[in-house]
Homo-oligomer: A and B are copies of this chain.
Amino acid sequence: MTQDLFASSPALRFEIQAQDGNARAGVLTTRRGVIETPVFMPVGTAGTVKAIRFEELESGDLDAKIILGNTYHLWLRPGIETIKACGGLHRFIGWDRALLTDSGGFQVWSLGALRKITEEGTEFRSHVDGSMQFLSPEVSMEVQAALGSDIVMVFDECAPGNAAYEETEKSVGLTSRWARRSRMAFDRMQMNGADTGHIEAPGLSGRQALFGIIQGASHLDLRHMSLEQTVEVGFDGYAIGGLSVGEEKSVMFDVISDLAPRMPADKPRYLMGVGTPEDLVEAVANGVDMFDCVLPTRNGRTGQAFTCRGKLNIKNARWVRDQRPLDEDCRCMVCRRHTRAYLRHLYLAGEMLASILLTHHNLAFFLDTMRSVRQSIRSGDFPKFRREFTERLDANGE
């Protein structure tokens, strides 16, 4: 019976319900609920979206339907045996909604000199205890099965944004071979019941879903090759990796605008690790459905607020007695209750509440922006929304 379901039902369902140019509004049905796309996923690196409680993420204010977890961080600490013993990542952290985990490839890559890449995988030094560790497609799939995330990412190799042709070509080749190994290891894990997150989900297999990642730096023909080889393996969704890693923004959008429309139209398209609110809107215009980025949380902790009039540095002396909320058009709990003067005071006094409140507002702004994006696509007003949104972002002039 389970075997039947396994064969006949998909891990995910994705339906596009409205289209406006290349922009798409749809519904992604996962084993842990329905997600309207385009969607922004807050980043929960070490099993927590930093400075935010899960109750807030679930509240009407934010209502995040899916968050990220980081394979690399969770593997090193608390370790997979601990998370398995605690029943998988959902149960460990106390979150019932959907979880996507990255493969650890990007984190290990970003260790730079601390790692060594071979055909087999990547050897690196743990940032937690300095021990030598080894990550490969097989290990990454095993870890992500133990985490029991609802969407698993293949283990890939990232080339720098400005990587030369030959280096990138090699990297794409390795990524393709790793994608195939990821797929095989993943399928074996699913058959073995290694997935700790399995639940019954009507019309779905209840399995984890697996996404492929397209690499190729700024070289469009290599991006096309990577796309072709990745689609050939076959995945539940496809991601654009290796952007926002040091290249010019114009280069990033050259890749996105060329690549996204070529990606399978009936599968979710996920742009990894990007970006500012305006980046998100531009990428949606090119047909991207899913995003994650640390900007709203990380910048919140360093005193930067995203507002509909642009960025606002809460440390600025001009806010010392300013009675306005961070964003006069925002209806989040922070903007309903607190002034710039108070938030500035909290930040300067080193109070944790500054990080808590700025993170909350920033996430509200990102998630609200995506709500507006979806609405405007459905009502056929996306081009107008995009123009007005972008114009207004410059108004603050900070």
Contacts and interface: CB of A to CB of B under 8 A. Distances in A.
A52 B351 CA distance: 10
A163 to B, nearest CB: 32
A82 B340 CA distance: 12
Contact of A352 (B82, B338, B352): B352
Contact of A47 (B82, B93, B342): B342
A33 interface: no
A122 interface: no
A337 B54 contact: yes
A5 interface: no
A353 interface: yes
Contacts of A342: 47, 86, 92-94
A188 interface: no
Contacts of A245: none
Interface string A88-104: 00001110000000000
B94 A341 contact: no
A352 B50 contact: yes
A330 to B, nearest CB: 15
A339 interface: yes
A115 interface: no
A interface bracket (residues with beta carbon within 8 Å of B): 35 or more
Contact of A346 (B48, B55, B85, B346): B48
A356 B320 contact: no
B85 A321 contact: yes
Given A320-B82, A321-B82, A353 B50 contact: yes
B86 A47 contact: no
Interface in A313-350: 320-321, 323, 333, 337-339, 341-342, 344-346, 348-349
Given A82-B321, A82-B341, A346 B47 contact: yes
Contacts of A94: 337-339, 342
A46 interface: yes
B48 A341 contact: no
B349 A46 contact: yes
The residue among A48, A52, A333 with the most chain B CB atoms within 10 A of its own CB is: A48
A175 interface: no
B78 A345 contact: yes
A53 B356 contact: yes
Interface string A68-96: 00000100011000100110000011100
Given A82-B321, A341-B82, A53 B357 contact: yes
Interface of A: 46-48, 50-55, 73, 77-78, 82, 85-86, 92-94, 320-321, 323, 333, 337-339, 341-342, 344-346, 348-349, 351-353, 355-357
